[in-house]
């Protein structure tokens, strides 16, 4: 996802003073998960975000139509509502969950948040308006980034979300999506958090792809930092979200073979941020995953591959399952 805008102001990488002790803790949690990438270490990054990479140059806040190359690639505000409220979905409700099967995740509720919306570019004024994210005001949403060939992040996130939903439902989980291509735009970042809260989700995950510079490669998982201000209070979810993030990151490495980000997280693939409404307003364990960098040719080749996206969904599913089975 491109993190210039709403919930994605670019964080500035820095080393955490807790890195050494956390390295030992993570090594015990995900033994061998990083394959050839060494010991997995948790790190507290400067900012946090509703999907935030180091460089959000690929994000667009205004209505720019997707590139014509998109088809060739593989693979709220009206005068009657308060200025800070999110728009209602086109269907009048968030994407409904489907009947859960019997399995190890029976009784568990997972909310999947596919970042952005393929139609956001048609609603510039709506997605650019500000909503309250607890600590401050940010834009409702962004269009997201895209590959250099024009394939949009919003289509990537929906595809992975569908694959992930199928995998989780086969294990008995009840799965809800914040949007399923059934809305004219959004939802806004505050509503995305609210959907997970109202579902009383056991875990929530927001799916994105980054829009950083060429040469910046790999995935990273964004976890909420401690925030207690305004409507935001993450104190109860910081610890479980960190556990969720470590499980997802370890499984993602193992299943996809992708390395953690080489430009954020000090090689751990774990970043903590406190500026993202989707995390700040959550009352349930939640993380964001940036599956790769759409603006890097090597990463883009993976992100536009259906077989790789299935691996990505499997890795996320395995991480969620490990967390929910604890």
Per-residue b/e over 240-262, b at no fewer than 16 CB within 10 Å?
bbbbbbbbbbbbbbbbbebbbbe
Given this model, what pLDDT does residue 93 score?
53
290 carries an active-site annotation: yes
Contacts of 189 (CB under 8 A, 6+ apart): 6, 7, 50, 131, 133, 138, 140, 141, 276, 277, 278, 281
Q: Under DSSP, is residue 175 helix (H, G, I), strand (E, B) or coil?
A: strand
- Where residue 102 falls among pLDDT bands split at 50, 70, 90? confident
Whole-model pTM: value is 0.76
Cβ–Cβ under 8 Å, residues 320 and 205:
yes
The domain segmentation of the chain, as residue ranges, is 41-58+108-324
Least confident piece of the model among 16-20, 121-125, 201-205:
16-20
β-sheet bridge partners, residue 207: 114, 289
Compute φ and ψ for 250, nearest 5 degrees. -65, -45
Answer yes or no: are the C-beta atoms of 317 and 167 closer than 8 Å: yes
Q: Give the CATH H-level superfamily of domain 41-58+108-324.
A: Zn-dependent exopeptidases (3.40.630.40)
Q: What is the pLDDT of residues 69-79, one digit of tens each?
A: 333 344 333 33
Catalytic residue among 76, 191, 243, 290: 290
pLDDT tens figures, 140-158: 999 999 999 999 999 999 9
Model pLDDT, residue 97: 64
pLDDT band at residue 263 under the 50/70/90 scheme: very high
């Amino acid at each position: 996802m491109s993190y210039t805008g709403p919930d994605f102001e670019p964080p500035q990488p820095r080393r955490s003073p807790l890195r050494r002790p956390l390295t030992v803790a993570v090594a015990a949690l995900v033994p061998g998960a990083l394959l050839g990438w060494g010991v997995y270490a948790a790190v507290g990054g400067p900012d946090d975000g509703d999907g935030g990479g180091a460089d959000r140059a690929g994000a667009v806040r205004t209505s720019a139509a997707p590139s014509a190359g998109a088809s060739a690639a593989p693979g709220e505000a009206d005068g009657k509502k308060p200025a800070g409220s999110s728009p209602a979905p086109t269907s009048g409700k968030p994407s409904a969950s489907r009947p859960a099967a019997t399995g190890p995740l029976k009784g568990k509720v997972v909310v999947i948040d596919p970042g952005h919306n393929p139609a956001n570019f048609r609603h510039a004024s709506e997605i650019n308006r500000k909503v309250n994210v607890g600590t401050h005001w940010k834009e409702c949403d962004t269009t997201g980034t895209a590959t250099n060939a024009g394939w949009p992040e919003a289509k990537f996130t929906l595809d992975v979300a569908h694959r992930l939903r199928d995998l989780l439902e086969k294990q008995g989980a009840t799965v809800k999506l914040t949007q399923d291509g059934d809305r004219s735009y959004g939802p806004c970042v505050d509503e995305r958090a609210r959907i997970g809260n109202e579902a009383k989700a056991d875990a929530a995950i927001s799916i994105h792809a980054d829009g950083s510079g060429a040469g910046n490669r790999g995935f990273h998982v964004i976890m909420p930092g401690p925030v207690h201000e305004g409507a935001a209070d993450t104190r109860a979810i910081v610890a479980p979200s960190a556990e969720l993030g470590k499980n997802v990151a370890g499984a993602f490495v193992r299943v996809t073979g992708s390395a953690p980000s080489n430009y954020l997280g000090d090689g751990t693939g774990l970043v903590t941020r406190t500026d993202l409404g989707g995390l700040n307003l959550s009352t349930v364990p939640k993380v964001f995953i940036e599956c790769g960098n759409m603006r890097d040719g090597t990463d883009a080749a993976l992100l536009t591959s259906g077989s790789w996206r299935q691996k990505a969904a499997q890795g996320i599913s395995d991480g969620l399952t490990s967390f929910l089975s604890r």
